[in-house]
Amino acid sequence: MNNTIPLKKNYEFMRIFKKGRFQAGKFMTLYVLENRFGSNRLGITASRKVGNSVKRNRLKRLIRENYRLIEDNIESGFDIIFVARESNIMPEFDDIRKEMKYLLKRLNLLFQEK
């Protein structure tokens, strides 16, 4: 993730949750807020409702890797938070990718693919 800075502070997450736009999908919810930096800042969360630590960390790894693969097609200058949602099934890599692209398109953050 070359152009992305991680979000770590709780107040940064809370500001995006309160002031940002969001879009919900089956496996995750996406929150977006424009920032004053030239690059994107990324945060990924999963609550205890999602499952045990193994499942939560697996979902976060899947989200992080999918973001890394489509990072070049995402507009710059935004704070982005992906919140994993609880589900009966464990989503596959492709399921996460499709939903991530769908949510980013809904919020007009994804460039047209080449």
Q: What is the sign of the dihedral through the CA atoms of 80, 54, 49 and 95?
A: positive
Query: Cα torsion at 31, 36, 42, 48 (round to 10°)?
Result: -50
Whether domain 4-106 has CATH 3.40.630.10? no
pTM (whole model) above 0.75: yes
Residue 3 has what pLDDT?
76
Q: For residues 80 and 69, give the distance between their C-alpha atoms in angstroms, rounded to a whole number.
A: 15
Q: For residues 15 and 27, give the distance between their C-alpha atoms in angstroms, rounded to a whole number.
A: 23
CB-CB contact of 2 with 39 (8 Å): no
- pLDDT tens digits, 43-58: 999 999 998 999 999 9
- pLDDT tens digits, 68-82: 999 999 999 999 999
Residue 37 has what pLDDT?
84
> What burial letters (b/e) apply to 21-33, b meaning 16+ CB within 10 Å?
ebbebebbebbbb
Pairing of strands 78-84, 40-46: parallel
Q: How confident is the model at residue 113 (pLDDT cuts 50, 70, 90)?
A: low
* Boundaries of every domain in the chain: 4-106
Comparing 2-6, 15-19, 51-55, 60-64, the range with the smallest average pLDDT is 2-6
13: pLDDT strictly greater than 90? yes
